[in-house]
Structure formats: C-alpha cells, structure tokens
Structure 1
Amino acid sequence: MNYILFDGAMRDQLLPFTFTRPVADIRIGILTIREKWEKMLGFTTTTVTEDYLAEKWTMIELESNVFINASFCPSAKLVELIKGLSENQAIFYKEEPLAFFTTENQEVDFETFDVVEYSNEDVLRVAHTWDIFSKNAEAIQRDFDLLTEGRASQPIPEMTVAFNKENIFIEEGAKLPFCSLNAQDGPIYIGKDAEIMEGAMVRGPFALCDHATLKMGAKIYGGTTIGPHTKVGGEVNNCVIFGYSNKGHDGFLGNAVIGEWCNLGADTNNSNLKNNYVDVKLWDYSAGRFAKTGLQFCGLMMGDHSKCGINTMFNTGTVVGVSANIFGSGFPRNFIPSFSWGGSAGFETYKTVKAFEVAKVVMARRGIEFSKEDEAILETVFEISKEWRRF
C-alpha cells in the first residue's frame, strides 16, 4: 500500500512552522508526525503539501493509495482502521476527512465514499501551534510506549539519581553522569548519543532526542522535548524544540515551540503568563489578527532560522516568523514577521542575501548543506511574508 500524508485544513494555523515544512514533519512527543506514522504503518510515506515545498517533499502516487491527514497522530486503533481501508472508503473526523483510499488519478468525491465508523476517543491532533506544547506530554507517553515496547534500556549510571526507574529509557551511547531524573509524573526518554551534563535536573514527561545535549545545571520540567542535535541550558518548562537549535545558557523558556536552526542568546527569557492572568492571544496568520488560545500559559513561537541576542525579553504570547534576527533592550512586539531585523526600537527587512550567508554557516557547523531547495523555500517565504513587514 502507498501511504500519502497531506497537510489538510490546519496548515495555515500551524504557521510559522509550516512555512518551511509539511505538517507531517512537525515534531511533537519524541518523533515527528511522519516518523510516528511510518513506524506504526511499517511503510515510508510521501507528502501532499504547498507547491513551493513539493520539490523537497515529493508526492508519489501509485495504483492504490491511502491519503492521511497529517495533523492527526496515529494510534493503534486508527492504524488498524486505515490498514483495512479499501477502494472508495474513508474515515472522517467530524466533517473533515482523516484518511481515504483512492486509485491512481481518481477524482475524489466524498459523497460517493463509504464512511468507516471511528469513535475518535483516541484522537491526538495538532490543529494549532499551541497544541504542539500543550499536547506534548501525552505525545511523549505515546511515543515512549511505541519506541520502548519489547526493548531493554541501557543501565542508569550508578551516580545518577533516578526516581521511578522503570519509566526511564536510555538509548545506546547516551551519557548522563551525576544528574537527577524524576520519572514519577511521566516517562523520560534519552536518545542515542545524547548527553545530560553534571548537575542537570529533569522531570518527566521528557524527551532528549538523538545527539542532543542538556548543559550543566539545567532545570527541565515536564512536557518538554529537546529535538536532535539541540543544546539546552537554563530553565525550561513544557517546551518543544524541533532540532538543530541552541538555548545554550541560562534564562527561562516556558510553554514554547522553537523551530530548527534557531539560537537563543544568553539570558533570553520569555513570559508565559500575563500579569492579569487572562487567557493569552496569539497572532493568527490566516485571520491576520491576534486570536484566542484559551490558554492561561502560552509563551513563544519561533520559526526556523530565527535568532535573538543576549538578554532578549519576549512578552507573553509572542510569535516570531522565519529567519528573524532580534536584539536590543526592552520587549519587542509580540508578532515579529519573517525576515525582520531589529528589536523594541524598531525593525527593518532582513535581506535574504545576509540571511542565507548565516544559514550556510550555521548548517555547515552541523555538517549539513544549505541546499538550493532550502534557498528556494526561504525565498518564497520572504515573498509570502512581505505583507506583514510594514516597516
């Protein structure tokens, strides 16, 4: 069977993260949504996404295909139903297609499809940017169960303090001397060749992905994922960092989502609670205005390739686009468009030629090439985001 993950109706609500990736490649829990589906289905997947992303993430259609809405995370029951789909059958979530079977070049008319009953009680969906952190604890537990079933953890080092050891899983090559792991409130997963330095304190649910590093004395609270090849220090609470990003020093990051190739300067802090305790509003790209989240705690959303200087202060519910560079004293605005350069004193356009120079250097440090495809994607994001750069 050929499985194809499509972006679906929630794509624009997941900006700025979907400016530079399909919905399927959002990380929540330990794995990306694509990695979850591929592991549970037992097949690789391709993607239906925006035209400007399609050269990097292609779609391959075969004689028989099952399309899956990538904003939904898999469960055992859902995967069983999807594997059982046959021609002209579909699974719906409320009024929206979740998965459906088609033949090559078939014109899809859902009025002619048979709907397979699905109770939806195990749905875990990423429909808004804030779902990435607010549902992360549940996603960590699901991925932990998936990745560790029938496997044995590497031993916990003797000098590491560990609570609820059976809820801790350590992959091969991980280093964690003289740290504290408390898995009483949720599992702790330490990926391959990851490192937790001396004095770090961790509470689950927590995931430290492959080749990631927790710096000395870090304080990590539950519901946090640190993606592959990421370095983190300071205090972090209920955050998801996709990968290849750095928060290497002290400072607080809470109820936040950070994309790839980002860097937070020393003593960067974000507020995650308003002084009057009212629910937080976030910038909504599709509506062109700030929208209610229904959350009392909501911090920072930062798109790929964005950076901030030392002592940067982000207000509650700040959204930063792709490839922004923020510096200076005071609080910058709480919506910073892609390719912005500046801070509280004002912004100007961050020219692509300069942004690409930085991206090439940053990626080369990790042995990854800034490709022509990457450049073309960011050029398109630059054009798309012009309407919000009114300076």
Structure 2
Amino acid sequence: MAIILFDDNARNTLLPLTYTRPVADLRIGILTIAEKWAKYLNSDFSFRTEAYLQAKFPINIQDDNIFINGSVCPDEDIVEAIKNLGNGRALRYNNTLVAVRLSDVYASAFDPFGSYTFEMAYDKELVTIQHPEDIFKKNDTELRKDFKLLTQGRKSAKLSSTNTIIGDEFFAEEGALAECCSFSTLNGPIYLAANTEVWEGTNVRGPFALCEYSQVKMGTKIYGATTIGPYCRIGGEVNNAVVWGYSSKGHEGYLGNAVVGEWCNIGADSNNSNLKNNYGEVKLWDYPTQSMRKTGLQFCGLIMGDHAKCGINTMFNTGTVVGVSANVFGGGYPPNYIPDFSWGGADGFVEYAYDKMMDTADRAIVRRPHRKFDAAEKAILTEVYKLTQQYRNF
C-alpha cells in the first residue's frame, strides 16, 4: 500500500512557506507532517504536489494507494479511520478531503477537489495547518504528540552531571551533548536529537525540540513551544518559534512567535516584534488575496521563507512576512511584507539579481556535505522566481 500526501488549497494559504515544498514537508512539533504519517503508518510516503516540485518530491503510485491530505497532522484516531478505508472510499472533515483509497487505475486521475462516491464524515477534532501562523500556534500540541511518539517505551541517554534537569519529561538521544545548562520540563517535554550540542549557560523551558546536528550557543534563552530543525545554529532569545533546518540565528536578538524556513540567516542583534503597541490583533500578508489578513492573534512575529536573510540589527515589525530568497538589511523598519527575491530594506527594495541569488544559494547549500544544489533545487528556485515576478513592483 502506497501513502501519497497531497496538497489542496492550503498550499496557497501557506505561501511563501510552500513555494519550495509540499504542505506535508512542513515541520511542526519535532517531525515534518510526512515523517509523522510514516511513523504512525509504518510506511514510506511520496507526494502529489505542484509539477515543478515533483522532481525533488516524487510521487509513487502502486496497485493500492491511500491519498492523505498533507495539511492534516495524524493522531491515533484518524490513523485508525484511514486504515479502515475500503477501496474507493473517502474521508472528509469539515468539507475537506482528508483521505481516499484508490487503485492504480484511478490514482493517476486523483483530484484533491473532486467528489467520491463513497464518502464518510470524520467528526473528531483534527490538527490541520492552513496558514503560516498555525505552525507556531499549534507547535505546543504537536511537540507533545511527537515526543510521545518518539520516546514511548525508551530510556533517555545520560547527559553530563553539570546540567540541571527539572521535571521528568526529558529525553536525549545517544550523541546529544550539553554542559552547564538548565532544562525545565515543568511546562512541557524537552527532546534533544542525536549529535546535537547545547553549549554552556543555556536555559531551556519546554516544550522544546532540538533536531539532528543542531547547536545552541552559549547563554541562549529558549522558551516553549520552540522547535529547532536539523543542522541549525541558534543563539540569543527564542520564544515559540519553529526553525525548519539548515538555518542560523547564531547571535543575540529576539525571535518570537515565528516560523523560519530552510537556508535562512538572521544577522547579529536582529529582532522581531511579536506584539503591537496597542495590543491589537495582528494581520499578516496573504498571498491569495494580495492583502493583509486578520490572524485573530495578539502575538504574531515573523514568517520567513526559504533562503531569506537579514543583516545585522535588522528590525522586523509585528506580523512581518519575508518571501523566499529575500535579502533584508539597513536601518529602520522594513515593510510588513517583503516580496520574494527582494534586495533592500526600509529605504526601498530592488529585485535580487537572479544570478547572484543562485550563486548565494549554491554557496549556502554546499557547506553541508550531504546536500547538493542540484538540478531539482535549481529548478524549484527558478520557477519560484518566475511565479513571484508579479509581486516585485518596486
């Protein structure tokens, strides 16, 4: 049986985060949504996504296929319901297609917006990701679920006795290192993946996850619910943020109520605001409507797409969206929406020259010996560059 994770309209409402990946490749909690489904179903997975993403995220159709909505985070109840689906049967939640089981004859014609003859309604609560802010907003729930999924029945590796661990929900994989740090699990679990390092003087309050090969620098202050993806380096003050992977915030400065994509770099002493001075509701730029959208949140900070970067002392206002491969620098507050492939700051923007952007991406990726800036990666950035041209009206 093949598990195929599909995109629906959430792909558009999650932009710019989904310009460079399928929805199910979003990280929330400890794992990506796709990795969660793989764990729950004990199965491999593939993706049904935009054509320009399929080379990197291929689809694998077999004789028996279950298409699962990539914006849905699994739990035991929905997994059991999906396992019990018969051929040709579909499951819906609040008018959204959650899953459908199809043979190979019908799988190639799968339509995420289509109707299916045998449909059932799922009436239990589900965690779904529809907008960028949902990722930090629902990270607490998913961190706790993933912590249980990954650690149940297992024993944590031992850390150095120089550390202070408060509470019982702490788990370190073999190879995790920490010295002279404090970890409080009174408000939620803490998970340190293999080959991670937490440097001296760091204070962590859960829920928190540090993924493979990431480092937390000396004196860092981390508040839950925060996730640091693989191969990151983090410093300063971080609160309720999700950093997906291969990104750096290595110096002082505040990052809060935020989502940061892959291959991003946040310069020293950069900060984002997460609360308006009048304590009002925060709005975020919405790609489908090309306007500001109400979030219903009082605390909402920074949304940053893949390959975006900012210089030292950058100040991001409350509810700022930074597009893919944007490069932000200079004094003052840049606007709340910074288009993809922009170059500049509060004094104005120009287009980030395509060749220079590609060269920078290449330099960033080749620093990781197990990753390559291959034809698939280049094709994705090239297509996103074309798709976002209309927004760069400088």
Deviation of residue 178 (structure 1)?
A: 0.3
Percent of aligned pairs with the same amino acid? 51
CA distance in 1, matches of 2:277, 2:141: 28
Q: How does 1:260-279 map to 2 (within 5 A)?
A: 260-279=262-281
1:202 to partner: Cα distance = 0.2
1:119 to 108, 116, 123: 123
Partner of 1:156: 159
Aligned 8 A contact 2:229 2:245 in 1? yes
Between the aligned partners of 2:316 and 2:257, the Cα distance in structure 1 is 12
Q: CA deviation at 1:117?
A: 4.4
Equivalent in the alignment of 2:41: 41
The answer to whether the 8 A contact 2:90-2:116 is kept is no
**Aligned twin of 1:203:** 205
Shift of 1:156: 3.3
Counterpart of 1:380, as a letter, is E
Amino acid at match of 1:210: E
> Residue in 1 aligned with 2:150?
147
TM-score by length of 1: 0.98
Correspondences of 1:1-391 after superposition (within 5 Å): 1-106=1-106, 112-121=116-125, 123-164=126-167, 166-367=168-369, 368-391=371-394
Gaps of 5+ in 1: none
Alpha-carbon distance between aligned partners in 2 of 1:37 and 1:113, rounded to the nearest angstrom: 25
Measured in 1, the distance between the counterparts of 2:382 and 2:212 equals: 30
Q: Deviations over 1:238-288 (max 9, x none)?
A: 000000000000000000000000000000000000001110000000111
**2:243 alignment partner, SS class:** strand
Per the alignment, in what secondary structure is the counterpart of residue 171 of structure 2? Answer: strand
Query: In structure 2, what residue type is equivalent to 1:135?
Result: K
Q: Which amino acid aligns with 1:272?
A: N
CA shift at 1:119, angstroms? 2.4
Match of 1:5, SS?
strand
Deviates more, 1:274-283 or 1:55-64: 55-64
Q: Distance in 1 between matches of 2:217 and 2:116?
A: 56
Paired amino acid for 1:185:
N
Please give the alpha-carbon distance, in whole angstroms, between the structure 2 residues aligned to 1:84 and 1:65.
13
CA distance in 2, matches of 1:326, 1:49: 30
Distance in 2 (CA, whole Å) between partners of 1:34 and 1:149 is 20
What's the CA shift for 1:134?
0.4
What's the TM-score, normalizing by structure 2? 0.97
Distance in 1, matches of 2:365 and 2:116, equals 48
Structure 2 contact 159–177 (Cα < 8 Å) conserved: no
In the TM superposition, what whole-angstrom CA distance separates every residue of 1:327-356 from its partner, at most 9, and x where no partner exists?
100001110011000000100000111011
Distance (whole Å) between structure 1 residues aligned to residue 358 and residue 320 of structure 2: 24
The residue matched to 2:58 in structure 1 has which SS? coil
Stretch of structure 1 that moved more, 144-153 or 364-373: 364-373
